[in-house]
Structure 1
Amino acid sequence: MTTTALPAPAATLRATRRDWAGLAVLMLPVLLVSIDTTVLNFALPQIARDLSPTAVQQLWLIDAYPLVLATLLVTMGTVGDRVGRRRTLLVGATGFAGVSALAAFAPTAELLLLARVALGVFGATLMPATLSLLRTMFLDRAQRRLAIAIWATAFSVGSALGPVVGGILLAHFAWGSVFLVAVPILLPLLVLGPFLIRESRDPAPGRVDPVGIALSMAALGGLAWSVKHTAVGGVDLVAVAALVLALGSGVLFVRRMRRTADPMLDVGLFAVPVFSGALAVNLLSIVALTGFLFFVTQHLQLVEGMPALDASLVLVPGVVAMVASGLLVVRVVRHVRPALAVVGGLTFSFSAYALLAVGGEGVTVPHIALAFALLGVGIGAAETISNDQILTAVPPAKAGAASAVSETAYEFGAVLGTTVLGGVLTAVYRSSLRIPAGTDEEAAAAARETLGGAAAAAERTGNPQLLEAARSAFDAGVGVTSTAGALLVAVAVVVAWTTLRRAES
């Protein structure tokens, strides 16, 4: 007589109180890593005054961290699959807290940049573990979707919250405080994590491949370098060489992963339309978010003349809208197709950029508050649904790889947000700037670099006409950059509608 195994009762799939408490602890590194992606936006004027970075160094201070994160996420995801995701998480948290304390007291722009690189390395050990641990902690589909919604909301809100946190800290402390905040945030994870989070590993992990790691870093790093160099200095041999290096390395990486018996990254995942489409929506959404924050935070402080704290409060309605949208869309998607929910949300994000593009140089603080609230609605919905679809489109055994790819798209989107939209802004600013007659050459050179440099030079030389000219040029750049942002969101809408229509609700 043969017997057939009955399916496990639904109750056995339900998460326990320990799992939900573990989720709360896991949100701490998610919030911190995403906060660190944008927290320097409000600190840039103070850093510019104290450390005198060039325009290129300013962009790299913002981008070095997410770029290193993006290039190492797949690698660290594989390491976590092999040695244990909880162990990797706790090691990364310890290193992140230590380097953050060092970054707070960096005496030069170069050392601060080096610290941002190190933070990217440790941050890469944190992020793959969080999402893949959720997949093993929450087996029930409804509970997992809610857990992922909380995770995605924390990720997106962290990026939006970065400038707010920075504004509050900078109102009372020096710029180094935006790094020191990592220590109290990570302490509960280090204390409670070993008790609340169960260890998990991939039973058949991909091998750690040094050649694959080098190729992936060359591909992503070369692409970011090419885009950044083109945006700031125009197309030249350096930009073309970096792009060729990126494309060549990418091709070699894909070929190597296809030919390896146990690849570090299963590139076959990209053949799944829902997976690839959701990944593209994820990336483009973050480009829109971080690009918006890059120029809006400078506009509020250096054009409107608002203190950091007051400027950060302008963004609070958008943060609230993002949280509400990310959680509400979990209920909405029970009744409508995921594609429709994402497209509906991104329509709000398109409206945000369109509002600023139409406003041009007449953009006011209420315009910015409303635009960020609209953007928050769209990003909250798009990030929640896209991350859920990325995980559910692949087999459970591939959760670690899928989560690492998802987070790579997120962090690389953060790089492209400041690189592409920030580069457009810099190019228009420089071409539109008209240096007033009688301005000394040193002050003029500082003004051509950045708006922050213009503000410092105007204060030093007592030349208010220089600051007014720089503000006018910057706002001309905001109008063009907002148009570019609206086009990016429109592309995300098309991608979502064409790839997610057959996704499961």
Structure 2
Amino acid sequence: MPRQHAHDSPGPRAWLGLAVILGPVLLVSMDGSILFLAMPRISRALTPTADQALWILDGYGFAVGSLLIAFGTIGDRYGRLRLLMIGTSVFGIGSAAAAFAPSPELLIAARALMGVAGATLLPSALAVLSELFADPRRRARAIGVFAAAFAAGFAIGPVLGGVLLARWWWGSVFLINLPVLALFLVLAPVLLREVRATRPGRIDAPSVVGSAVGLLLTIYGIKQAATEGLTVAPVLVGVAGVVLLVWFARRQRHLEHPLVDFSLFGDRVFALAITTGLLPLAAWSAAAYLAGVYLQSVLGLPVLDAALLALPGAAVLTASCIVTPFAVDRVGKRAALLVCHSCIAAGLLLLLPTTTTGGIGWYIASTVVAGVGYGISFAVVADTAVGAVPVDRAGSAGAIAETSNEIGNALGIALLGSLAALLFRLHGPAAAPTLDETLQLPGLTRATAEQATTAFVTGLHGVAAVAGVLHIALAALTLRWIPRSAPAPARVP
């Protein structure tokens, strides 16, 4: 019985276990953004094509997002701690392979392997954490720390990447993972216990394959059309992907235990919550990536300076994520979501005055204002989604909310990044399909360089405007769909 007593009143071991779990959580979220400032350096070293550069960035996010729910089911059946240990080991192997990849193709493959491993870590880490803290109040506090760490990982990824690149070669942004992973593998068996759940049913393999392949084909078709034009091949590939996704969605309706319970989207509050998980991450990832290229390749700033300029926004995002749960208790979710989408829209539109000769102040203001909204979205999505559905479907709602974040991160680079690539192709010089490729051309003339940088800024403005308008639309839907409610009662300490 002593174990039960310790379990109900967690001591140092539980909090140490939480600290150990946060290591992989930070890495999974951080690796979704750490390349944003590193891409100009990687482009010079490996010379990827335009679509290869986008796959280097978002292949990781697609792998994580498309497999999160499947690995949640696998962990329930075979053990969360076991899956954590396996996933951590594979994540380390993928990180080492990425650091020393000699070609764009191998770097894409290594990033995809990291994404597969990352999909094993998030749901298992949350389940093991919940086992450490039996008391609901302490568990809520621990999950709040978990969410803040996940948000902080996204926010500090570009900053840490810039700091590392200021002293070492581009592969260092992957090798930084190895000490954290090694520490986890040593301490986890000592501090953490195995967790198995009783989730019914088995994994539907066709659904896993269909959703992942459908996403990849759809996005590949969009990317190819944006970078090479609307030809037959990308259209056929994109249509094949859409057909697979429709088949996947229809299949879920007839499964006793679906991979994704699409019937939940019939609730407007739930649908809005999931969209709030997806679109802000899409906007943040696209804006952060394009701004990193803008600061370095257009304004000519060193990578460390670009990293330091990202610090204010990262700090605001993290602080907003931490403060939001307490603020929501007072103002309610409707007001929080309104502030969320309004701040993101305003922050994105603050990028519109940037030019090829200046815009640092606008960039900082953009990241600070939008950072408030991004932090709110991290903090309220899962709680809003789970609260909108019956108790017996809370697990499915939470899994979809987690997945929406990762898919949003990948879709931002894929779709909004493709929009920027399309605008660059339409307005830029015909010499090369990307800004970095253009600036590396032998015998580059000043006129060509100016045309290329102007076209890139046009693409940045287009992405900021489209994403900003979409968030204005979400704010309007929030007013229409989220009911007014009295603030929640204050939390009991």
TM > 0.5 = yes
Q: Secondary structure at the match of 2:194?
A: coil
Moved more, 56-65 or 196-205: 196-205
Structure 2 counterparts to residues 337-376 of structure 1, below 5 A: 337-359=332-354, 364-376=359-371
Where do residues 290-305 of structure 1 align in structure 2 (5 Å cutoff)? 290-305=285-300
Instruction: Check 1:357–1:141 CA distance in 2 against 1; reply closer, same or farther (3 A cut).
Output: farther
Q: In the alignment, residue 190 of structure 2 is paired with which amino acid? A: F
Q: Report deviation, 1:385.
A: 0.7
Matched, 1:493 2:469: no
Equivalences for 1:31-430 in 2 at 5 Å? Answer: 31-138=26-133, 142-359=137-354, 364-394=359-389, 401-430=396-425
Aligned residues: 482
TM-fit CA distance, 1:344: 1.1
Shift of 1:134: 4.4
Distance 1:259 1:47, change over 3 A: same
Offset of 1:205 from its aligned partner? 3.6
Percentage of identical aligned residues: 36
| Shift in Å, 1:453 | 1.1
Over 3 Å counting, the alpha-carbon distance change for 1:146 and 1:222 in structure 2 is farther
Gaps of 5+ in 1: 1-10, 435-443
1:14/1:210 CA distance change after superposition, 3 Å: same
On the 8 A contact 1:226/1:242 being kept in 2, the answer is: yes
Q: Which range moved further: 202-211 or 393-402?
A: 393-402
Q: Please give the secondary structure, in 2, of the residue aligned with 1:449.
A: coil
Report if aligned partners of 2:33, 2:285 keep a CA contact under 8 Å in 1: yes
Q: Aligned-pair distance for 1:431?
A: 1.8
1:483 aligns with 2:478: no
1:379 Cα deviation (Å)? 0.4
Q: Distance in 2 between matches of 1:376 and 1:385?
A: 14
Structure 2 residues without counterparts, runs of 5 or longer: 1-5, 489-493
Partner residue in 2 for 1:456: 440
In structure 2, what is the equivalent of residue 437 of structure 1? none
Change (3 A) 1:145 1:243: farther
Paired residue for 1:466, among 430, 436, 448?
A: 448
Distance 1:347 1:263, change over 3 A: closer
Cα pair 1:206 1:265 within 8 Å, conserved:
no
The alpha-carbon deviation at position 196 of structure 1 amounts to 3.1
TM-score (norm: length of structure 1): 0.88
> In the alignment, is the contact (CA less than 8 A) between 2:227 and 2:433 conserved in 1?
no
Counterpart in the other structure of 2:491: none
Q: Distance in 2 between matches of 1:270 and 1:372?
A: 31
Would the aligned equivalents of 1:223 and 1:243 in 2 still touch at CA under 8 Å?
A: yes
Q: Are residues 412 and 140 of structure 1, via their aligned partners in 2, closer, same or farther at CA, if it must alter by over 3 Å? A: same
CA distance 1:206–1:487, change in 2 (3 Å): farther
* CA gap 1:259/1:431 in 2 versus in 1, 3 angstroms: closer
Cα deviation digits, residues 383-442 of structure 1 (max 9, x gap): 1011222344456665654443223211211121112221121122222224xxxxxxxx
What is the alpha-carbon distance in structure 1 between the residues aligned to residue 88 and residue 122 of structure 2? Answer: 10
- C-alpha displacement of 1:198: 3.2
Shift of 1:266: 3.6
The 1:13/1:489 distance shift into structure 2, 3 A limit, reads farther
CA spacing shift, 1:412–1:363, aligned 2, 3 Å:
farther
User: Deviations for 1:86-144, whole angstroms, at most 9, x for unmatched residues?
Assistant: 22112101110112112111111111111111111111111222334445555655545
Residues 327-371 of structure 1, C-alpha deviation per residue, up to 9 Å, x if partnerless? Answer: 111111111111211211322211111111244557511211111
Q: Please give the TM-score of this superposition, normalised by the length of structure 2.
A: 0.90
Provide Cα deviations, 1:297-346, integer angstroms capped at 9, x if missing partner.
00010111111111110000011101111111111111111121121132
Q: Distance in 2 between matches of 1:399 and 1:87?
A: 24
Superposed CA RMSD: 2.6
